[in-house]
Amino acid sequence: MKKFKIIMACALVAIISFAGCGNSESSEATQENGGTETVTDNGPKSTYTKFMKYVLKEDFETAVDMLYEADKASAEEKALVVGLLKEFLAQKGGIKDFEILSEQITNDGAKAKLKVKYTYGDGSTKETTENLVKTDDGWACKL
């Protein structure tokens, strides 16, 4: 359990940078041009877009449940991550938008990197690289 707490602490850092994910499905997310982008494949982009859909709707509990190894976390650990995520976003005015700038999948198809740009409610922006790993259930954030 100690190892998992360390992983959850890393998850918090990853969430603050918005490394997210889970299993893949079709989803829609708000894009910078004000429209929506429907993502129908089951690759890393669609997985990340689904995660961000929950973040944008402020459904943080569902978003946290999509993190890699979230099934090993206790309810208290998940609640802590949700609380810290809410606090961070409140300081930034929430997330106004995100854009996936690029996707790189390894030759063996087991790992992916997404370059993502976030625009926060306070007007600030941040570009970061999100790492994903393919699991038996689909793509997930690699912490």
pLDDT at 6: 55
- Domain boundaries defined on the chain: 2-141
Q: Where are the alpha helices (DSSP H) in 17-130?
A: 44-56, 60-65, 75-92
pLDDT at 11: 53
**Considering the entire predicted model, what is its pTM?**
0.72
The series of mean pLDDT values per 10 residues for the chain, 143 residues long, is 53 47 41 41 89 91 83 90 90 93 96 96 95 87 66
CATH no. for 2-141: 3.10.450.50
Alpha-carbon distance of 132 to 124, in angstroms, equals 25
Alpha-carbon distance of 6 to 118, in angstroms, equals 26
